[in-house]
């Protein structure tokens, strides 16, 4: 029996009156957290921007496209930095868990002037094959041959890895593989100039993991082992079962 199950089995059971009283106490804390969340969101929107000077080009199903063209007629671009490197058999399970939420969101994001696209260094043919296997519809392009992933600190050279630390999540740290997860945001103005407005890494990518929010409401919560890589349980959605191989590849720190 794991610790979470033991705690649940020994959980206090109280009267309706006491339950309601304690629930109202927690509600006050939840509202406090919501107000803090709203304040941080305002501060995020107030961050200064940096001009994107490099004319990045990507391989897409429609041919070669620039970063500016990925906006698809909208002003705001959300990029999932999806861990899928050249020579990999499949994309990262944890990044796939993130991507499983995308198709349902896309129609609503578009109504708020937002285009969402996944970008990986894997060749486009490998991306297309894995995308078909997973049944996804969202746009996913290849940055293979460009510096885009490296410039946005989600891909690392062999030399960087050999040093034992890479620049990730705004600091130097060990990282086990050559690709890392992230989410970046861009804005395009009336002149067509593109600006980088925000990027988040490590546990910041949980913003895409709506399933985690639902788990957090339940008695067992995320029910993850106390290990550095909490997402070790995650599999591709077509690989769950007793025969599933271990090994999610994203280390969230």
- pLDDT band at 225; cut points 50, 70, 90: confident
Q: Which residue has better confidence, 198 or 241?
A: 198
- Is pLDDT of 253 > 70? no
Within 8 A by CB and 6+ apart from 34, the residues are none
Looking at the chain, how many residues does it have? Answer: 253
pLDDT in tens, 57-74: 999 999 999 999 999 999
Predicted pLDDT at 227: 77
* Residue 2 confidence (pLDDT): 56
Strands 140-142, 50-51: pairing kind: unpaired
User: Is a pLDDT exceeding 90 seen at residue 243?
Assistant: no
Distance (Å, whole) CA 104 – CA 108: 8
Lowest mean pLDDT among 101-110, 189-198, 217-226: 217-226
Inform me whether the pLDDT recorded for 251 exceeds 80. no
State which H helix or E strand residue 186 sits in: strand 182-188
Report the pLDDT value the prediction gives residue 4, as an integer from 0 to 100. 60
Residue 131 pLDDT class (50, 70, 90 cuts): very high
For range 196-202, the mean pLDDT: 98
Identify the structural domains of the chain with CATH numbers, from first to last: 50-208 (3.40.30.10)
Residue range 118-141: average pLDDT?
98
Q: Which of 2-11, 25-34, 124-133 has the lowest mean pLDDT?
A: 2-11
Q: What pLDDT score does 6 carry?
A: 63
What is the chain's mean pLDDT, rounded?
A: 93
Confidence of residue 245 (pLDDT cuts 50, 70, 90): very low
Tell me if 141 sits within 8 A of 251, measured CB to CB: no
How many CB atoms sit inside 10 A of residue 203's CB?
13
* DSSP reduced 3-state for 94: helix
Model pLDDT, residue 19: 96
Q: Rounded to an integer, what distance in angstroms lies between the CA atom of residue 175 and that of residue 253? A: 10
Angstrom distance (rounded) from CA 162 to CA 164: 5
The predicted model gives 179-208 an average pLDDT of 97
HSE on the CB side for 27, CA within 13 Å? 6
Report d(CA 16, CA 21) in Å as an integer.
Answer: 9
What is the per-residue pLDDT for 250?
Answer: 52
The SS3 assignment for 80 reads strand
What kind and span of H or E run contains 171? strand 171-173
């Amino acid at each position: 029996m794991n610790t979470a199950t033991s705690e649940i089995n020994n959980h206090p059971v109280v009267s309706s009156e006491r339950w309601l009283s304690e629930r109202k106490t927690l509600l006050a804390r939840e509202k406090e957290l919501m107000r803090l969340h709203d304040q941080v969101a305002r501060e995020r929107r107030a961050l200064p921007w940096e001009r994107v000077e490099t004319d990045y080009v990507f391989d897409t199903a429609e041919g070669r496209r620039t970063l500016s063209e990925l906006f698809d007629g909208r002003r705001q671009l959300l990029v999932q930095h999806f861990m899928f490197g050249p020579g990999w058999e499949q994309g990262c399970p944890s990044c796939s868990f993130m991507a499983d939420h995308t198709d349902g969101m896309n129609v609503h994001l578009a109504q708020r002037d937002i285009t969402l696209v996944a970008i990986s260094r894997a060749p486009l043919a490998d991306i297309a094959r894995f995308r078909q296997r997973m049944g996804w519809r969202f746009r996913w392009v290849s940055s293979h041959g460009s510096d885009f992933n490296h410039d946005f600190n989600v891909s690392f050279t062999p030399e960087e890895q050999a040093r034992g630390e890479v620049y990730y999540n705004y600091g130097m740290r060990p990282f086990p593989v050559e690709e890392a997860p992230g989410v970046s945001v861009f804005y395009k103005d009336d002149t067509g100039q593109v600006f980088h407005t925000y990027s988040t890494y490590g546990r910041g990518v949980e913003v895409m993991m709506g399933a985690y929010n639902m788990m957090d409401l339940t008695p067992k919560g995320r029910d993850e082992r106390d290990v550095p890589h909490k997402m070790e349980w995650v599999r591709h959605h077509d690989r769950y079962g007793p025969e599933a191989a271990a090994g999610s590849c994203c280390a969230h720190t």
